[in-house]
C-alpha cells in the first residue's frame, strides 16, 4: 500500500506524516508538496528539514505559476468561496501526480487537518473520487496546533516564522485569497513590504479586468461590496475603527471546498 501525504509546509502535515511513518514505516510513503512559488522562505526551510526529520524525501511538483499569475490568466480574482489558485496550483497538480504515479486501489492519501476541522474530512470522504482519504491528526491522541509545534520543536525543528509572527497558517507567504480583514491587517503590520506587493497586484488586476473587484468584502450597514487592500490600508492609517478584527478567514488549500 502506498501512502501519499499532502505535505504543505504547515505543522499539521508534518504531524500527519510522522504518524503515517510510525504506523506504516517510511518505505512506501510519499511526501508530496505542490509549490505555489509564493511560499515564505522560512516555510521552504521547514519543508526540507521536516522531510529529513520524517525520513522520507520531499517530492516537489508545481504548475509553474504564482497565485497572481493564475488570477490574471483566468481573468478572475479569487474569493472566500472560489479559489482558482488552489484549483490550479494545488488540487490539479496533486490529482495529476496521483493519476500518473499511484493506483487508487493500492494507495491512501493522508491530509494534515486535525480534529478541529473534522467536518472537512467528512466532506472530502463524501466527495466523488477514486481515492481514499485519511487524516491522522483527526485520530487520538488529539493535538492542537501549538502541541504539534512543541512536538516538532522537541525533535529539533524550529517552528515556521509565520506561526511565530502570529499567522494562523504557514502557506503562501502570509497571503491567502480566502483570508479576511483581520488576516490582511496582520500582514500589513508584520510584513508591510509584502502587503504592498499584494496591494499593487490587486490594483493592477482591477485595471486589467476593468471591474470593481477586491480580495476583501465590506459588509457595513448590511451591504456587501468589494473592498480592496488599499482601502484596508487607508482605513488603518486613518485609525478607522470599522475594520473587522475578527475576520481571519481560512486557507484549506489542496482540498475540494
- SS3 of 64, please? coil
pLDDT digits (tens, 9 = 90+) for 58-99: 999 999 999 999 999 999 999 888 999 999 999 999 999 999
For residues 18 and 29, what is the distance between their CA atoms, to the nearest angstrom? Answer: 11
Euclidean distance between CA atoms 112 and 25, whole angstroms:
18
Q: In this structure, what C-alpha cell is assigned to residue 36?
A: 505555489
Residue 147 has pLDDT above 50, yes or no: yes
Nearest in space to 81 (alpha carbons), one of 208, 244, 252, 221: 252
Give pTM, 2 decimals: 0.92
For the chain, helix, strand, coil in percent to 5 are: 50, 10, 40
Closest listed residue to residue 109, CA positions, set 16, 203, 224, 236: 16
Over residues 97-145, the pLDDT tens digits come to 999 999 999 999 999 999 888 888 878 777 768 899 999 999 999 999 9
Instruction: Report helix, strand or coil for 20.
Output: helix
How far apart CA 101 and CA 252 sit, in angstroms, is 24
Amino acid at each position: 500500500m502506498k501512502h501519499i501525504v499532502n505535505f504543505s509546509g504547515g505543522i499539521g502535515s508534518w504531524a500527519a506524516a510522522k504518524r503515517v511513518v510510525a504506523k506504516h514505516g517510511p518505505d512506501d510513503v510519499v511526501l508530496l508538496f505542490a509549490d505555489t512559488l509564493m511560499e515564505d522562505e522560512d516555510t521552504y526551510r521547514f519543508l526540507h528539514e521536516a522531510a529529513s526529520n520524517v525520513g522520507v524525501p520531499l517530492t516537489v511538483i508545481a504548475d509553474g505559476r504564482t497565485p497572481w499569475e493564475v488570477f490574471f490568466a483566468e481573468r478572475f480574482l479569487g474569493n472566500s468561496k472560489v479559489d482558482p489558485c488552489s484549483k490550479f496550483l494545488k488540487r490539479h497538480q496533486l490529482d495529476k501526480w496521483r493519476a500518473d504515479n499511484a493506483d487508487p486501489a493500492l494507495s491512501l492519501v493522508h491530509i494534515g487537518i486535525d480534529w478541529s476541522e473534522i467536518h472537512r474530512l467528512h466532506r472530502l470522504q463524501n466527495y466523488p473520487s477514486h481515492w481514499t482519504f485519511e487524516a491522522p491528526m483527526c485520530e487520538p491522541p488529539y493535538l492542537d496546533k501549538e502541541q504539534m509545534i512543541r512536538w516538532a520543536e522537541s525533535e529539533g525543528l524550529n517552528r515556521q516564522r509565520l506561526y511565530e509572527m502570529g499567522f494562523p497558517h504557514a502557506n503562501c507567504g502570509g497571503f491567502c485569497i480566502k483570508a479576511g480583514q483581520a488576516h490582511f491587517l496582520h500582514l500589513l503590520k508584520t510584513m508591510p513590504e509584502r502587503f504592498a506587493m499584494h496591494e499593487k497586484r490587486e490594483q493592477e488586476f482591477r485595471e486589467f479586468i476593468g471591474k470593481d473587484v477586491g480580495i476583501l468584502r465590506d459588509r457595513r450597514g448590511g451591504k456587501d461590496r468589494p473592498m480592496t487592500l488599499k482601502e484596508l490600508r487607508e482605513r488603518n492609517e486613518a485609525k478607522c475603527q470599522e475594520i473587522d478584527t475578527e475576520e481571519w478567514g481560512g486557507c484549506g488549500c489542496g482540498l475540494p471546498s
